[in-house]
Structure 1
């Protein structure tokens, strides 16, 4: 028996991991863990490739309050994250966003936008202890903020310039990101 295990340990390990990945209750935590391992600081767009947001008209529904219009963020440093609770890379980057929000929430406008139900979102937020400003998208986003990939995050300067347009998981609480926000806030 020991000889069999020594000879086939890699196959046994592969089958074990495969089984864990097909079981929904274990798949998501494994995927989130792996996504956190591979997350890096988001990349700033080259100045020559940056677009400027021209349409701020976007109605959003905060959890448990009246609808707001995204135009309230015109002239402010803003972060928009498009996400979902079922998306492993989205879930993986939430702790870094929570830390960034804890430090910059009073200086930067944050929008965590999803199309899921408020019940599902509230359960996720409560389970993880987040206090991020979450909005339910009821209407189409401005063209420059549309994406078919989750997560997608946009960082905009006070002039509406899209400084970061990041898809996939990232470490949003990095020194590089904090330095960029400090620079944008000082402009």
Structure 2
């Protein structure tokens, strides 16, 4: 039996697979792949299927130990993101989160939650010029938000209904998300 001469696309595939096994290249490749996935905008939940969060009973703290009571977000538009610095899909979507935050920080409450130490989070934020505030949980957030993997993001309207729930990387700076937020803001101004 004669061996076939390998094709270039077979060699490229083998090189890519091999790169996944080299620790120094695995994370950058995963981030690159997830950035492709993060081009997709998250979908809104149909109004008939939207559910209200069960409670606002969540306590968080910032890097200075200042307590943030999630109860203060009642009646507001809130974007809650659970993430970590070691998570390639989280890293992939952070640029779009920063852009959205920059434009809506005075109109929407952004709550970025990480279980990591601020000694890890803060250098990551500085290195990437991210200006949003990050919180650590003091109480269990799974009583409100069912988070089994990260990134997990929720966009909550003024009535406490989850209108977007997304696990995995997404483009949070998309026209779709911006139009959804603008619609919520317009509704708020009519009340």
Does TM, scored on the shorter chain, surpass 0.5? yes
Q: Return the offset for 1:143.
A: 2.5
Corresponding pairs, count = 182
Partner residue, 1:52: 52
Which stretch of the first structure deviates more once superposed, 16-25 or 74-83? 16-25
1:13-162 equivalence runs, <5 A = 13-39=12-38, 40-141=40-141, 143-162=143-162
Work out the CA distance in 2 between the residues paired with 1:36 and 1:122. Answer: 22
SS at match of 2:141: coil
| Structure 2, unaligned runs of 5 or more | none
Q: TM-score, normalised by structure 2?
A: 0.89
Once superposed, what is the RMSD of the aligned Cα atoms?
Answer: 1.5
SS at match of 1:49: coil
2:56–2:144 CA contact under 8 A, matched in 1: no
Q: Return the offset for 1:22.
A: 1.7
Q: Return the offset for 1:70.
A: 0.7
Work out the CA distance in 1 between the residues paired with 2:158 and 2:19. Answer: 46
Q: Deviation string for 1:113-153 (max 9, x for gaps)?
A: 11111111112112211111211112201633121021110
Partner residue, 2:9: 10
Work out the CA distance in 1 between the residues paired with 2:49 and 2:103. Answer: 29
| Structure 1, unaligned runs of 5 or more | 1-5
Work out the CA distance in 2 between the residues paired with 1:114 and 1:146. Answer: 15
Which stretch of the first structure deviates more once superposed, 156-165 or 136-145? 136-145
Partner residue, 1:167: 167
